[in-house]
Amino acid sequence: MSNNVKKSKEDVSLYKGVWVLAEQRDSQLLSVSQELVSEGRKLADDLAVELTAVLLGFDLKEIGKELVAYGADRIIMVENQELKHYRTGPYARVVADLIKQYKPEIVLIGATHNGRDLAPRLSARLQTGLTADCTKLEIDPQKKILLQTRPAFGGNLMATIICPEHRPQMATVRPGVMVKEEPDYKRQGNIIEVSADLSKKDIMSVNKKEAQIIKMDSQLSREDLFTKITDIVKAASKAVNLEEAEIIVAGGRGVGSADGFEVIKELATTLGGEIGASRAVVDEGWIDKEHQVGQTGKTVHPKLYLACGISGAIQHRAGMQDSDIIIAINTDSAASIFEVCDYGIVGDLHEIVPLLNKAFQKVEVA
């Protein structure tokens, strides 16, 4: 598939380098950004170009060092109190201006709530294509273009999309898909500090290493700042963080009903893990979508994944098959989940899971 928009063909040779738009919350780097920098490092090496991480916010110095440790050669850091929390207008304006000036050939963005809001707006401003929710990225060895793979048709097949004529090639990447490499805090990188005066019509960029001043025509207007954040209220319920979980107890159609998930929840609580689910039970309304694992849900890499009453359709397996240890419980001995599990138990989960729960409750953790 080709991902192009209707505009005149560009000289793609003017574009060079791989960019990752790093995302932070309260001056803490999100895990998906660490994953993207690790993946971006591989793509940049394949193309023999620099990897740049772009970071917007306030009080970002330590995050910049962290991005270098994960593999970035250069950090473009834009600090302003107005950018401390994400807002569509100013973020889209600043990032679009940076891309127009530096002309990277590839831009990667995490498929988070913010990333999914920002990416299409950048694509429209830059008049280039965008592939959303990618699960695999590669460089074509002959054409040297980005191969962007994502689930299609409800996860029933995988589509590889290219953007051969326009730049940058842009993709959002699902959290938890890419492997996060170990950081090397001895790495050195160039940090470019950009001052964004959002009350004026331009942004001044200062490269401290090269003592070079670059003026950027930003033309920030009232439309870019038409919203104001007055307060941030944390949700009362605990957020589901499947991508970071070390233990996941997941239920499928075999749980039988929404009430049937109680045994799954009890075991997850005992193990200190998170609750996962197959798409089938989410579609049934037995549990919220934020618990869904699979091609159309979340991709996870826990140390322990317990699949209870899950048949093991390929769409679900794609989201959990890289777990360190997989234990499957199913009444059907021929279920596909047994093809990928390390340990399999044939039987009724409503009998087996409570027994496991009682056994684990007796275990004393040293």
| CATH number, domain containing residue 40 | 3.40.50.620
Is residue 241 marked as binding?
Answer: no
Clarify whether residues 170 and 89 are in a common domain: yes
DSSP state of 162: B
Give the pLDDT confidence score for residue 215 in this predicted structure.
39
3 in any annotated domain: no
pTM higher than 0.75: no
pLDDT at 365 over 60: no
Average pLDDT, the chain: 84
Q: Residue 20 in contact with residue 56, Cβ under 8 Å?
A: no
Is residue 337 marked as binding?
Answer: no
35 in any annotated domain: yes
Is residue 135 marked as binding?
Answer: no
Clarify whether residues 214 and 281 are in a common domain: no
Is residue 314 marked as binding?
Answer: yes
Structure tokens, 226: 């038409």
155 in any annotated domain: yes
Is residue 316 marked as binding?
Answer: yes
pLDDT at 286 over 70: yes
Is residue 279 marked as binding?
Answer: yes
SS3 category, 331: coil
366 in any annotated domain: no
Q: How many residues does the chain have?
A: 366
6 in any annotated domain: no
The number of folded domains in the chain is 2
Interhelix angle 88-102/113-126, rounded to 10 degrees, is 50
In this structure, of 33-47, 157-171, 197-211, 346-360, the range with the lowest mean pLDDT score is 197-211
Clarify whether residues 51 and 109 are in a common domain: yes
Domain that holds residue 23: 12-225
Is residue 31 marked as binding?
Answer: no
Helix (H) / strand (E) element for 36: namely: helix 31-47
SS3 category, 142: coil
pLDDT at 43 over 60: yes
Is residue 24 marked as binding?
Answer: no
Residue 138 pLDDT grade (very low, low, confident, very high; cuts 50, 70, 90): very high
Is residue 227 marked as binding?
Answer: no
**Helix, strand, coil abundance in the chain, percent, nearest 5:** 30, 25, 40
Distance CA 299, CA 243 (A): 7
pLDDT in tens, 176-198: 888 888 888 888 888 888 776 66
Clarify whether residues 32 and 178 are in a common domain: yes
Q: Residue 128 in contact with residue 119, Cβ under 8 Å?
A: no
Is residue 285 marked as binding?
Answer: no
Q: How many helices (H) and strands (E) does the chain have?
A: 8, 19
pLDDT in tens, 289-327: 889 998 778 888 899 999 999 999 888 988 888 899 999
Final residue belonging to a domain, choices 174, 194, 225: 225
Which alpha helices (DSSP H) does 112-227 contain, by range? 113-126
2 in any annotated domain: no
111 in any annotated domain: yes
Give the pLDDT confidence score for residue 362 in this predicted structure.
83
Final residue belonging to a domain, choices 191, 225, 259: 225
Is residue 330 marked as binding?
Answer: yes
Is residue 253 marked as binding?
Answer: yes
Q: Which range in 84-98, 150-164, 223-237 is most confidently predicted, on average pLDDT? A: 84-98
Give the pLDDT confidence score for residue 213 in this predicted structure.
36
Clarify whether residues 289 and 250 are in a common domain: yes
Q: Is the link from the previous residue into 141 a cis peptide, with omega within 30 of 0?
A: no
Give the pLDDT confidence score for residue 298 in this predicted structure.
86
Is residue 172 marked as binding?
Answer: no
Is residue 188 marked as binding?
Answer: no
Clarify whether residues 207 and 59 are in a common domain: yes
CATH number of the domain enclosing 302: 3.40.50.1220
Distance CA 121, CA 27 (A): 24
Clarify whether residues 247 and 181 are in a common domain: no
Give the pLDDT confidence score for residue 199 in this predicted structure.
55
Is residue 295 marked as binding?
Answer: yes
Clarify whether residues 59 and 154 are in a common domain: yes
Give the pLDDT confidence score for residue 193 in this predicted structure.
83
SS3 category, 318: helix
Give the pLDDT confidence score for residue 85 in this predicted structure.
82
In this structure, of 21-30, 137-146, 194-203, 235-244, the range with the lowest mean pLDDT score is 194-203
Clarify whether residues 209 and 312 are in a common domain: no
Pick the more confident residue, 23 or 227. Answer: 23
Clarify whether residues 214 and 275 are in a common domain: no
Final residue belonging to a domain, choices 225, 254, 285: 225
SS3 category, 133: strand
Structure tokens, 25: 């919350």
97 in any annotated domain: yes
pLDDT at 3 over 70: no
Clarify whether residues 265 and 199 are in a common domain: no
Clarify whether residues 220 and 247 are in a common domain: no
Distance CA 198, CA 220 (A): 7
pLDDT at 9 over 70: no
